[in-house]
Structure 1
Amino acid sequence: MYNTVSLIGDTRKASMKIELRQIRQFLAVADTLNFRRAAEHLALAQPALSRGIQLLEHQLGVSLFKRNNRRVELTPAGTVFLKGCQDLMEDLDETVRQARKAQRGELGTLSIGYTDFAISGVLPRILDGFRRKYPEIDIELTYGSTHQQLEDLAIRKIDVAFVTSPVAGANLALMPVQHDRYVAVLPAAHPLARQATVDISELAGEGFIVGVMARWRHFRRHLDALCLKAGFAPRIVQEVYNTEGMFGLISANIGVTIHLECTANYIRSDVALRPLTGVDDTIITVAAWREDDMRPALTHFADFLQTLPRNADHGLL
């Protein structure tokens, strides 16, 4: 703990070092207005306390107390100095409390990366619950592709990545948080939108709107594999950067796509989502973090994920 405080004299404009023990001695005398009782409270000999106050007054260049044989009282300068010392000690106590919270991981910053799938799925609920439990941990959110987030994890640019599986990497801890089935996304006026479900083979002749490869490479691999298994390659008519752009172009009747059921949280009256049949696969979103970089705040986040209720089919509830 710090044992000196730097003060600037108003007249001399010179830096001086005031020890915390001197401030505590001053506060004890100011509280009791009695040198004997203050000395007893501090477990200090009264002459030593008197010399300490005299030295403090000499350092400050002011008189802090009026003394006579009958009473002790604060001078106007002493009253001002008292208020400053009380504020100083309160600030110091708060700093100590904050440092201890930081040591316990209850204070600090956690940087989290996410994909379209995560933010339209369970991530908002996870963040809300964690922030309620640890309100003094600041969350910094960064949107990024699975590939970009894994690179950011490697260089410690982010602490946690919510990414599309499968994922592999040295020193990575992985926790499944979300399971999604595939859906067909259609313009609301599309003939297939009249059906309760859409078989993947029915999309063979459609123009597809897909995410750009630079950002969607993990999902594009899943999409290509699904279509090839159904006997066709998707005919791509437009590439976009995110789900919002994808849905906008679909609403303009430019094409269709295959997406995940979590996108039902995007509410658009001019777009229809239909369960995709002829497909047994699901997509898993995982939370990933470095096991060799477990700061206290990250440990709390990992532990929090472990406490969340789960569903065998859909991940977190």
Structure 2
Amino acid sequence: MELRHLRYFVAVAEELHFNRAAERLHIAQPPLSQQIKQLEAELGVELFYRRTKRQVQLTEAGQVFLQATYRILAQVEQATSDTQRAGRGEVGTLAVGFTSTVVYDILPAILSQYREQFPNVHLVLQELTTTQQEEALQNHQIEVGFCHPPLKDNRLKLESILQESLVVALPETHPLVQETTISICSLANESFVLFPRHLGPGLYDQIVSFCQQANFSPKVVQEAVQLQTIIGLVSANMGVALVPASLQNLQRAGVVYKPLAGATPHVEVAIAWHLDNITPVLREFLLVVKRYIKERGH
């Protein structure tokens, strides 16, 4: 039994006339009659009884089969639609990893645009360090990550989407808050709050190298994994912190952000994904990200 047999049966059952059903199906009447006979032979029951040579009536078995056929064809149509939508990346699940830096700038805007365009995709968001994201991408626990290069695994595709400068976060009682800009040299004797290097070696090395270019190594008195925790420790007067400029959107009582004098290293944010794991949902998400970055650049 094939789907065409079911569609032929429905046409005859609705028209109750072989000629009209054949015209509706754009086929000749004799082949249609033959297909219905084959269907009845396969089922072992008569679906129609003849009132005239061309006009028919549904038998009781035919009425039961018609209702079942409607359900089958509806399910086939739904399955076809769902499959096509999945192929277009309109349904499914997407696991996204992100560092805390992107929460205060680009990630909310990107997710908002994506949700508007693909409301039926289930997003699973995981806040992870760059190192954790690399591992999660390798294990297919996430499909895409917002991270800070570099990554070790060359099987992962990286595309830069943002570069921003560093600023200094100071306790509001710090003498330097009176300055318009802060020289990196003036932080030589300060206590620093920083994240452990193994969680984000790229950004960590940029910060340490920046200090070393000013002839000092930062005196790290406290480590914290998340940037919002680092800012909380700054507000508690535990030290100062060098953070990406977008973190200024995280307003915290007791903390003042100040620009640094002169050029600073550019903190790079990139999207990363596994070259062997590009699903339709991921493909469409990457297009949304790239379109947003292009529009933002303008």
TM-score range normalised by the length of the shorter chain: 0.7 to 0.9
Give the secondary structure class of the aligned counterpart of 2:145.
Answer: strand
Tell me how far 1:259 sits from its aligned partner.
Answer: 0.7
1:30 to 13, 20, 25: 13
1:270 alignment counterpart: 254
C-alpha distance after superposition, 1:43-70 (max 9, x if no partner): 34264355346447646xxx86676459
C-alpha distance after superposition, 1:75-114 (max 9, x if no partner): 7775565444323312212221232333344444433321
1:48 to 19, 23, 34: 34
Does residue 153 of structure 1 match 2:137? yes
1:199 to 178, 183, 188: 183
Q: In proportion to residue count, which structure has more helix?
A: 2
Does residue 97 of structure 1 match 2:87? no
Give the secondary structure class of the aligned counterpart of 1:277.
Answer: coil
2:115 alignment counterpart: 131
- Asked if 2 retains the 8 angstrom alpha-carbon contact of 1:112 and 1:158, the reply is yes
Measure the CA separation in 2 of the matches of 1:52 and 1:39.
Answer: 16
TM-score with structure 1 setting the length: 0.76
- Asked if 1 retains the 8 angstrom alpha-carbon contact of 2:18 and 2:33, the reply is no
- Unmatched 5+ stretches in structure 1: 5-18
- Unmatched 5+ stretches in structure 2: none
How much is the aligned-residue C-alpha RMSD, in angstroms? 3.3
Q: In proportion to residue count, which structure has more strand?
A: 1
Spell out the pairing of 1:281-292 with structure 2 (5 A cutoff): 281-292=265-276
Measure the CA separation in 1 of the matches of 2:78 and 2:253.
Answer: 52
Tell me how far 1:33 sits from its aligned partner.
Answer: 2.5
Amino acid at match of 1:244: Q
| Stretches of 4+ aligned residues off by more than 6 angstroms | none
Spell out the pairing of 1:1-317 with structure 2 (5 A cutoff): 19-42=2-25, 43=27, 44-45=29-30, 47-48=33-34, 51-52=37-38, 54-55=40-41, 58=44, 68-69=51-52, 81-167=65-151, 169-310=153-294, 316=297
1:15 alignment counterpart: none
Identical columns (%): 31
TM-score with structure 2 setting the length: 0.81
Tell me how far 1:269 sits from its aligned partner.
Answer: 3.3
Taking a change above 3 Å as real, the CA distance of residues 249 and 74 of structure 1, as seen in their structure-2 partners, is: farther
